[in-house]
Amino acid sequence: MLSKKLEEALNDQVRVEAESSQVYLSMASWAEVKGLEGIARFMYSQSDEERLHMLKLIKFVNERGGHGHISDLKAPKTDFGSFQKMFQELYEHEIFVSKSINDLVHISLEERDYATHNFLQWYVAEQIEEEALARTILDKINLIGNDKGGLYLFDRDVQQITADSAAGGPVE
């Protein structure tokens, strides 16, 4: 049985994951209208992944005797200036999500809820991967600079990242 404090914290994370999905969906739409097909596909995939993270949390809360809440979401911005700035925002957002997960892990230990602590380890590992991927993408973007040919190749390469991720199988 979840404590009220932990149930509220998990529901806050449900909102964080839902807003993350919306942020990435907005980034996907922005990239798509700019003709950046590979980047758009990557962002649509990221949006889907965040939604799955949200669903996993809701199901966990409900299975543990709580009630997973669906709340209002903050509308994401719709213009990102440049693809470089957009990926910088993606990286900063992943750092924010990691901090949120770490706060949740801390609460689970304070509440001595080791089942929740164990459940959250998947999110901890996932965030390590998400931050590393975002950092790798930023490194590639910095190599490109303002080279239009580099942007074309990057747009194709980032599409491959999505295909590679999909080959890894569905998120549980």
CA quadruple 66, 70, 73, 76: dihedral positive or negative?
positive
50 is known to lie in a ligand binding site = yes
By residue count, the chain amounts to 172
94 is known to lie in a ligand binding site = yes
Distance CA 47, CA 53 (A): 10
Distance CA 163, CA 148 (A): 23
In the block, residue with structure tokens 């929740």 = 116
127 is known to lie in a ligand binding site = yes
In this structure, the number of other CB atoms found within 10 A of the CB of residue 76 comes to 19
Distance CA 63, CA 65 (A): 6
Query: Is-contact 83 127, C-beta < 8 A?
Result: no
Annotated binding site: 17, 50, 53, 94, 127
Annotated binding site for Fe cation: 17, 50, 53, 94, 127
